[in-house]
Amino acid sequence: MLVECAVNSVTSTTRPAIVVVGDAEQALQRLGDWRAIKALADVTIHHRPLNGQALVDALKDADAVVLVRDRTPFDAGLLAALPRLRYLVFTGTRNTTLDLAPLAARGIPVSHTEWGPSKDSTCEMTWALILAATRQLETHAALLRRGQWRPDAALPLAGVLHGQTLGLIGLGEIGGRVAKVGRALGMQVVVWSPRMTPGRAAEQGAVAVSLGELLAMSRVVSLHLVPSLATHHLLGAEQLALMRPDSLLVNTARAALIDSHALVSALEQGQPGFAALDVFDAEPLALDSPLRQLPNVLLTPHLGFVTEPVFARFSAGVLECLEAWLTGKPLVRVIAGGGESA
């Protein structure tokens, strides 16, 4: 969507500086043609995570900043250290760590890209984790790499999902897709969310239950909520204790939905029996995180939306936004701030 904005006739005697942060996949340049942008501006792309003074140093001379997803928290304190900033772009349609108010107060326009097939991608990632954990794929692949065919000891074998209960916390676009796959596999689907109704659940072939009932009855529990004050640490020690010893907890949504300290303790006690996690409180996951030491977890580095089609859309969207800003055209997909051109 093109958003018409008033464009100020502000010009600069020097080339604008554009800084991209959070491109851990090194995908934005590979998937887009940046030659037109680099002809008009100096572009720096950071692939490694930045924080603290290193982040300030990277951005302090930027006229425009591009944030890849919400990997780099951007608040009033950081903005105050960036006197030259005149434009901000983020990938996707939502950024949970971006403070829009101070940007709007300074009249700095904020644009975003389109998403691409991220809902499908995250659904597929959810099921990749569910199936890999249920069929013990990580364990058996490691055995084969070590030259073994079966474990040395008699251990519990893989489970089967058909006939089991799938509990979904959240039934939005991603949760609805996950529910369809669960039903196709012959699972009973139960759901809960803060505003769930029996009718809405029935539309997805699911049954609405209380959160406690969902946790107690489900073989697989998967989270698909947007984090908010109301859902922060939705699953703490009390809730985790309700889960079955043979249950699998899957999180491809946001780490803030689960009290991570309580989860470590619960997994150590075997209730839930296993967790498959794609999101963490701090990313990248710290080397000394206790999650890395637990035998009953499957960990992946936030891959839910990380696919070629999604990042191709990100790259195209970033280039579209920057080209409009650099050439004085109406800015696209503006959600806050003014409309100053380069």
Q: From 3.40.50.300, 3.40.50.720, 2.60.40.10, 1.10.10.10, which CATH number describes the 17-116+307-336 domain?
A: 3.40.50.720
How far, in Å, CA of 207 to CA of 189, rounded?
A: 6
How far, in Å, CA of 199 to CA of 201, rounded?
A: 5
Q: Which two tokens stand for residue 150?
A: 């079966």
Q: Output the pLDDT for position 4.
A: 30
CA-angle at 307, arms to 303 and 310, nearest 5°: 115
pLDDT in tens, 286-334: 999 999 999 999 999 999 999 999 999 999 999 999 999 999 999 999 9
pLDDT in tens, 220-264: 999 999 989 999 999 999 999 999 999 999 999 999 999 999 999
Which residue among the candidates 69, 86, 177, 254 is catalytic per the annotation?
254
Same fold, 17-116+307-336 and 118-299: yes
Query: How big is the chain, counted in residues?
Result: 342
Q: Output the pLDDT for position 8.
A: 31
Identify the H or E element spanning 40: helix 35-40
Domain 118-299 architecture: 3-Layer(aba) Sandwich (3.40)
How far, in Å, CA of 72 to CA of 87, rounded?
A: 16
Q: Output the pLDDT for position 1.
A: 36
Q: Output the pLDDT for position 14.
A: 87
Q: Output the pLDDT for position 200.
A: 97
Residue 283 annotated in active site? yes
Closest CA to 17 of 49, 73, 58: 58
Q: Output the pLDDT for position 342.
A: 57
Of all residues in the chain, the percent with pLDDT exceeding 70 is 94
Residue 86 annotated in active site? no
Of all residues in the chain, the percent with pLDDT exceeding 90 is 93
Which residues partner with 192 through β-bridges? 169
Measured in whole angstroms, the distance separating CA 209 from the mean position of its chain's CA atoms is: 26
Residue 162 annotated in active site? no
End-to-end CA distance of the chain: 21
Which residues partner with 249 through β-bridges? 221, 275
Residue ranges of domains in the chain: 17-116+307-336, 118-299
CB 252 within 8 A of CB 304: yes
Q: Output the pLDDT for position 6.
A: 29
CB 176 within 8 A of CB 204: yes
Closest CA to 260 of 279, 241, 243, 273: 279
Which residue among the candidates 71, 302, 313, 333 is catalytic per the annotation?
302
Residues of the chain short of pLDDT 70, as ranges, are: 1-13, 336-342
